[in-house]
Structure 1
Amino acid sequence: MTNGLKITVIGGGSSYTPELIEGFIIRANELPVEEIHLVDIEEGKVKLNVIYELTKRMIKKAGLKTQIFQTLDRKKAIENSDFVVTQIRVGGLQSRAKDEKIPLKYDVIGQETTGAGGFAKAMRTIPVILEICREIEELAPNAWLINFTNPVSIITEMVLKHTKVKTMGLCNVPIGMINNIAKILGYESNRLKIDFVGLNHMVYGKKVYLDGEEITKDVLTKLAEGGSVTMKNIPDLVWDRDFIYALGLIPCPYHRYFYMTDEMLEDEKKALAEKGTRAEQVMKIEAALFELYKKVELEEKPKELEERGGAYYSDAAVSLISAIYNDKGEVHTVNIHNNGGIMGLPEDVVVEVNAVIGRAGAKPIASGKLPTQINGLLQAVKSYELLTVEAGLRGDYNTALMALMANPLVPSIKVAKKILDDILRENVDYLPQFNKRNLI
């Protein structure tokens, strides 16, 4: 056991890792990180080595004594860890491209975390995260798992329901919304606070405060006038003015898939024809990023990383780790058990809400009943998530079919069955929980 903190990053060869390392560097005075272990799989060995070398240069430039390790031995890296960060993509970007293309064949939204594409990603990811959790239970039972792996809500739900691992799910959408709203209003982001309520990639800003004074109406007006609150990976389609005033809440970028489905579908189909899926675009961005990362003169996170849609990751992830370690009692937006955070949802389901963070974990801040205008959609998506967890664990076709049918973006049984059959066929090598005889 080290004297300082041992951090293990599973998916260490990810292009996002420099964001995370930057976060530890910025907070070195409050987080005594002695070791960072970057873990990946055989297929990711080349990228892992590039990240490892860049990380060493970043740490050296910062004048820190933190030791950096790279390994394909996950168990050795997990052993005695204080924090484990998961940022994996089972099947890589090639599988993501399939997740996006399969639904589009049937005129259904194809997106990596939302709808049928997110379902496919969950099916591949659940068995791997479960295996990681079993290793944490055995080798680092006191460690906190900070999960950044999508679909965050579904993965966090699975971990909290079916393992003993202490975990919080994390997303950069809330902090991105704060920063983008601050930019629209012309204020520094640290002056803004938002009461977040909902689910991951389905979260709403209930109230917005500037220096403690509520300014929600001002923000709604800006959005109604065309103000942009989106992300690099989501088309910046303008919200309908009347809808924004009728909603009375701040939607997150992913809500476009549910409230502007026809327009988003057309945009996806056009993009597919002209420049490929988002996954295929990201492959090019990643290739360029790794060429940058290889340059020995590069000693910091390049600005180009923001094109990946991972901006603000370090702020979200490392500030959360610091809040836990230092028992800060800070408010963060996290994915945790409801426990009274939202009236009308079961206590034991995972929600994305503001919570007070300390050494003992997260205490959700009660937000009351869901407004009627969003209650139905959130209930439907949560039902989809619960069914997806069970399908991903048990490999049951019927449960998987009902999970897709519960998702508001899947239009009919006929379409759901076609999409499900394609998903199972295309992912046969990544779905040990399903009976392979039925998939080939």
Structure 2
Amino acid sequence: MRLTILGGGGFRVPLVYRALLNDRGSGRVTHVTLHDLDESRIAAIGRVLAELADGVADAPEVTITTDLDEALKGADFVFSAIRVGGLQGRAVDERVAIEEGVIGQETVGAGGIAYGLRTLPFALELAKRIAAVAPEAWVINFTNPAGMVTEAMSRHLGERVIGICDSPVGLGRRVAMALGVDPAAVRMDYAGLNHLGWLRGVHVDGRDLMPRLLADEQALTSFEEGKLFGADWLRTIGCVPNEYLHYYYFNREAVAASRAAGLTRGALLIEQQRRFYGHEGGSAVAAWEDARLERESTYMAENRQAAGVGERESCDLESGGYEQVALALMRAIALDERTTLILNVRGRGTLAPLDDDAVVEVPCSVDAGGARPLAVGPLTGHAAGLVTTVKAVERSVIEAATGGSRAAALRALATHPLVDSVAVAGRLLERYEAELPQLGYLRGKA
């Protein structure tokens, strides 16, 4: 089986390759092609992979190329993990938003909209090229904002593009551990959009353990989300939100913590990765692992500061997240190893009140035919309102990216729940246009 990774110089690529090295099953990936436009970054990642593979019998062969068509030819699966504008673009997204007094996180609010506006034109062209060069390949999208990008790419790839994220998996694992049950035995009632979802039920042997969790103060506050949101709020809403909903439920505190932090997350990662990619001599794997642990330990640090909780638990620093989801997804499709995974796919009407074409994040049944969303209960109350509004924002960003409409871009910013003023939205767009050359395609009111 042949895998192509677009964005092959990305920092998390070794996680994927390490998962492939540990996969000894029949039909496993035997060849990996890394594609990236930055030759120095892809060379650095290549050194890490070579060291990981040293001494491993039948390690997947690795090819490196900067030619897109060469990378795509013959691929069975394509991972899309691109970052248009690099971390420098992310730092702009975040800084401009924070300076205007709103959340700047790269997938949420103004920062996520700027990231989408930068990324979607390229992602759409990429989808067209994949459809032309590798029409039988399955595309697994890691590129953020994952739900928005997956929905845009589905216009050209249909059901053959699937978005993945490890946030729901991590949430489910932490909740299962808090309850003292095997995560593999849990069926999660989870629904929403990428980075905007809720765990509503924890089913084991036909019994929902969510009421037991909510009633147990010690268990409820023993894991990341319980600490972030607090037991009182989780009992109030009767479920456990995805960690990214902290930006919505505690917006004022999150903005204040971001402004007090000094360095944005993007700026911090630029410095972390500068040290790794500039590393010379010694073990490439050790240098990468040091940088990875530093990256993971500082993940959502501002939110934890806003909530008044301590550092991340050691179990949350372990790998085994999105790369394991990706491996399970590939094996399910390629080898018909049927499984259930929480994925970003077209909802096909399974998640009211959204329409059939809306990409949603829900449990899916996966086999050789692809991923099919399982029936879930409708979103109600404030969850339905948030998801409906954010989906409208995503579609305004897609409209802007496909037609160059500046008005659609402004509408996306102005109607997002985390941007509190049309005037602020206007200033955000002007500043993003001035600092992000990738937005030069926006024009007029069309």
Is TM-score (shorter-chain normalized) higher than 0.5? yes
Distance 1:349 1:244, change over 3 A: same
The residue identity in structure 2 corresponding to 1:258 is: Y
Which residue matches 1:431? 439
How far 1:302 sits from its partner (Å)?
A: 2.9
Which residue matches 1:60? 54
1:346 and 2:341 are equivalent in the alignment: no
1:406 and 2:393 are equivalent in the alignment: no
Stretches of structure 2 lacking an aligned partner (at least 5 in a row): 297-316
Which residue matches 2:45? 51
How far 1:63 sits from its partner (Å)?
A: 1.3
The alignment of Structure 1 onto Structure 2 pairs a total of residues equal to 422
Given candidates 267, 270, 294, the residue that maps to 1:280 is 267
CA contact (8 A) 1:54 1:294 kept: no
Distance in 1 between the 2:137 and 2:290 partners? 32
How far 1:267 sits from its partner (Å)?
A: 0.9
Distance in 2 between the 1:338 and 1:287 partners? 40
1:170 and 2:170 are equivalent in the alignment: no
Distance in 2 between the 1:372 and 1:148 partners? 30
Distance in 2 between the 1:298 and 1:376 partners? 45
CA contact (8 A) 2:159 2:345 kept: no
Q: Secondary structure at the match of 2:229?
A: coil
Q: Secondary structure at the match of 1:286?
A: helix
Which residue matches 1:130? 124
Which residue matches 2:88? 94
Which residue matches 2:25? 29
Which residue matches 1:76? 70
Distance 1:106 1:82, change over 3 A: same
1:369 and 2:343 are equivalent in the alignment: no
1:244 and 2:234 are equivalent in the alignment: yes
Residues 263-302 of structure 1 mapped to structure 2, 5 A cutoff: 263-272=253-262, 276-290=263-277, 295-296=282-283, 298=285, 302=289
Distance 1:245 1:392, change over 3 A: same
CA-atom RMSD in angstroms: 2.4
Given candidates 218, 223, 231, the residue that maps to 1:228 is 223
CA contact (8 A) 1:39 1:73 kept: yes
Distance in 2 between the 1:149 and 1:223 partners? 37
The residue identity in structure 1 corresponding to 2:121 is: P
Distance in 2 between the 1:165 and 1:210 partners? 30
The residue identity in structure 2 corresponding to 1:130 is: L
Distance 1:212 1:293, change over 3 A: farther
CA contact (8 A) 1:22 1:300 kept: no
The residue identity in structure 1 corresponding to 2:22 is: I
Q: Secondary structure at the match of 2:92?
A: helix
Distance in 2 between the 1:122 and 1:307 partners? 27
What's the CA shift string for 1:174-220, capped at 9, x where partnerless?
11112222343444433433221000000111211345532112333
How far 1:426 sits from its partner (Å)?
A: 1.1
CA contact (8 A) 2:214 2:231 kept: no
CA contact (8 A) 2:164 2:322 kept: no
Distance in 2 between the 1:31 and 1:290 partners? 33
How far 1:264 sits from its partner (Å)?
A: 0.6
Which residue matches 1:114? 108
The residue identity in structure 1 corresponding to 2:249 is: Y
Moved more, 32-41 or 284-293: 284-293
Q: Secondary structure at the match of 1:334?
A: strand
Moved more, 23-32 or 137-146: 23-32
Which residue matches 1:233? none
Distance 1:86 1:27, change over 3 A: same
Distance in 2 between the 1:175 and 1:368 partners? 19
How far 1:136 sits from its partner (Å)?
A: 0.8
How far 1:293 sits from its partner (Å)?
A: 9.0
Q: Secondary structure at the match of 1:409?
A: coil
Q: Secondary structure at the match of 1:434?
A: coil
The residue identity in structure 1 corresponding to 2:221 is: G
Given candidates 5, 10, 16, the residue that maps to 1:14 is 10
Which residue matches 1:395? 404
1:259 and 2:246 are equivalent in the alignment: no
Distance in 2 between the 1:338 and 1:165 partners? 11
Distance 1:187 1:92, change over 3 A: same
Stretches of structure 1 lacking an aligned partner (at least 5 in a row): 231-235
Distance 1:355 1:317, change over 3 A: same
Which residue matches 1:326? 335
What's the CA shift string for 1:200-252, capped at 9, x where partnerless?
0001112113455321123334579533335xxxxx96324332112111101
Distance in 2 between the 1:289 and 1:341 partners? 44
CA contact (8 A) 1:159 1:167 kept: yes
Which residue matches 1:160? 154
Distance 1:26 1:388, change over 3 A: same
Distance in 1 between the 2:18 and 2:281 partners? 17
What's the CA shift string for 1:245-278, capped at 9, x where partnerless?
1211110110001111011111111112xxx001
Q: Secondary structure at the match of 1:419?
A: helix
Which residue matches 1:103? 97
The residue identity in structure 2 corresponding to 1:79 is: K
What's the CA shift string for 1:28-80, capped at 9, x where partnerless?
31443231100101xx2112111112212222332124211111111111112
Distance in 2 between the 1:83 and 1:361 partners? 12
Distance in 2 between the 1:149 and 1:80 partners? 22
CA contact (8 A) 2:433 2:440 kept: no
Percent sequence identity is 30
Please, what TM-score do these two structures have when normalized by structure 1? 0.89
Please, what TM-score do these two structures have when normalized by structure 2? 0.88
How far 1:299 sits from its partner (Å)?
A: 8.2
CA contact (8 A) 1:168 1:335 kept: yes
How far 1:386 sits from its partner (Å)?
A: 1.1
